Structure 1
Amino acid sequence: MFVDSHLHLIDRSRLSYPWLAGVEALNRDHLYDAYAREARRAGITDVLHMEVDVAETDISQETRMVADIAAAPGSLIRGAISSCRPESPDFPAFLDQSLADPFVKGFRRVLHVVPDEVSEGALFRENIRRLSGTRLTFDLCTLPHQVEKVLALLDLAPDVTFVLDHCGVPDIASAAHEGWARGIARVAERPNVTVKLSGIVAYADPGSWEVATLRPYVDTVLECFGPARMVWGSDWPVVTLGGTLSTWVAATHALLADLAPDDRRAILGLNARRIWSL
């Protein structure tokens, strides 16, 4: 049974998603009912919603929308990772607001869609340090060439749990492994980061990938982080760029089949329950 730590919901009737105009394959609504139908069939029992880079003015509204869905009887959603703007002087007030809401489990600021100078700014880094002593995690969504930026943030707040999304976004379609693997090994040296096994089929060739295509990347993160520092996520609907949610679940079972049962259970759910108090 899976805990999905990375679901995106897109409802253009309620929120604004400026980036969707440039991603035609995803530029439509992706709603909870469609996800939940397939998720239940695949064995997913608990879900965290991951922010979808809505317009800044819609950040709080996104959390409220997801909380409304979570409140419905039988909902799979247990909490939300909220978008945030650590580069803003308003961040301390936003942090206080989020800490008062137990539905908010953590933050994410996608860093590969903004200049590197954003995460290097003094205010950004000061505000990341404010997460120390809180229950909130911080997801890192970066590209392999940004490993130095990742390391700098990890070292800012050694008692904060950071989560490296999508195995660090390897370029699987181009079989780019060596440079990415070196960066993964360096990141894994920091004990305060967990890696997310999520949606990597979207980075493979959609017409030709198979389990063997993904295995070198999954084996690398397993070797570097170990099962105790891995969580699982679907990255739905982005995962549909490389297949379906069910295809990714089946591939996950195959990729982890050789692990001990306790290690599989840790990756597929127990680690997430511990990290986010689900």
Structure 2
Amino acid sequence: MFIDTHLHVIDRSALNYPWLANVPSLDRDFLYETYATEAKRCGITKVLHMEVDVDPVIMQAETDYISRLGDLVAGAIVSCRPEEDGFAAYLERQKADPFVKGFRRVLHVVPDDVSEGVLFRENIRRLSGTGLTFDLCTLPHQVSKVVALTDAAPDVQFVLDHCGNPDIKSNAFEPWSRGMTEIARRPNVVAKISGIVTNADPASWTAENLRPYIEHVISSFGWDRVVWGSDWPVCTLANGLSTWVAATQAVLSGTAETERSRLLHGNAQRLWTL
């Protein structure tokens, strides 16, 4: 059984995604029905939708759209702008919606100093005690930014997306691995095993290419602080959902069932009360 904590749905007839114009490989519809058919065959039983950086004026419209999608979708990690004055009021509205499980603001598409702003950090600290998480989507050179932000909000639960985005294609295990070890020292950070197939060579990657990265994250964070995600449809750029599920199973094949179950579904169920 899998709980997928990182599904993106792209429906250009319903929502506006300005960034897609610069990413031709994803500039088309990737609809829930397409995902759900394959996901159910792979053993995925519940899903969290991850925000897709829609036009900021329709962030709420994206959440409303996702809430109507289908039977697998158990909640959403929604878009936000903690660097803006309106965040406090936006948070209050989201707290009233049990479908909302957390927030994300992708930090590698904005200047590094955005997360260092006083207002940004003050707004992130507002998540303390709400049960809502904050996903960190960063690059390896931004480890110091991750550490500073998570230290500034020690009572907030953070989730590090995509194993911190290692450059697997270039075999850049260092200094990425040292960065993961440092981040893992923060007990308020959970790591997400997701997204790394697109950081490997899309034409030739294997489960063995991914293994050292996945194993390092698990050994650094421990089995109680890791969750799994598909990163669909981005994973389709590196052979797709079923292949990523199979690669995950191959890497985890020598581990105990009690350990695998925590990564694949148990931790997500507990973290987001799914």
Q: TM-score, normalised by structure 1?
A: 0.98
User: Of 132, 151, 154, which residue of structure 1 is paired with 2:150?
Assistant: 154
Q: Residues 8 and 236 of structure 1 are in contact (CA less than 8 Å); yes or no, is this contact kept in structure 2? A: yes
What is the CA deviation profile of residues 57-90 of structure 1, one whole-angstrom value per residue up to 9, with x for unaligned ones?
Answer: 11000000000114xxxx1000000000000100
Moved more, 44-53 or 157-166: 157-166
In the other structure, the counterpart of 2:84 is: 88
CA distance in 2, matches of 1:212, 1:46: 27
CA distance in 1, matches of 2:173, 2:249: 22
Aligned length: 274
User: Of 169, 174, 177, which residue of structure 2 is paired with 1:178?
Assistant: 174
CA distance in 2, matches of 1:258, 1:161: 30
User: Of 239, 251, 258, which residue of structure 2 is paired with 1:255?
Assistant: 251
Partner SS for 2:68:
helix
Displacement, 1:157?
1.6
In the other structure, the counterpart of 1:3 is: 3
Displacement, 1:158?
1.2
In the other structure, the counterpart of 1:138 is: 134
CA distance in 1, matches of 2:107, 2:41: 34
In the other structure, the counterpart of 1:51 is: 51
In the other structure, the counterpart of 1:29 is: 29
**1:253 corresponds to which letter in structure 2?**
Q
Partner SS for 2:239:
coil
Q: Residues 199 and 248 of structure 1 are in contact (CA less than 8 Å); yes or no, is this contact kept in structure 2? A: no
Partner SS for 1:174:
coil
CA distance in 1, matches of 2:170, 2:238: 14
User: Of 258, 264, 267, which residue of structure 2 is paired with 1:271?
Assistant: 267
Partner SS for 1:85:
coil
CA distance in 2, matches of 1:211, 1:237: 19
What is the CA deviation profile of residues 195-227 of structure 1, one whole-angstrom value per residue up to 9, with x for unaligned ones?
Answer: 000121011101110011101101110110111
| RMSD (Å) for aligned C-alpha atoms | 0.6
Which blocks of at least 5 consecutive residues in structure 2 are unaligned?
none
Q: How does 1:104-123 map to 2 (within 5 A)?
A: 104-123=100-119
- Is 1:163 the counterpart of 2:159 in the alignment? yes
Displacement, 1:257?
1.0
In the other structure, the counterpart of 1:191 is: 187
- Is 1:236 the counterpart of 2:232 in the alignment? yes
CA distance in 1, matches of 2:130, 2:139: 27
CA distance in 1, matches of 2:148, 2:15: 33
Displacement, 1:148?
0.6
Q: Aligned residues: percent identity?
A: 63
Q: Residues 125 and 155 of structure 2 are in contact (CA less than 8 Å); yes or no, is this contact kept in structure 1? A: no
CA distance in 2, matches of 1:199, 1:113: 16
Which blocks of at least 5 consecutive residues in structure 1 are unaligned?
none
**1:10 corresponds to which letter in structure 2?**
I
What is the CA deviation profile of residues 148-192 of structure 1, one whole-angstrom value per residue up to 9, with x for unaligned ones?
Answer: 110011112212110000000001111110100010000000001
Displacement, 1:258?
1.3
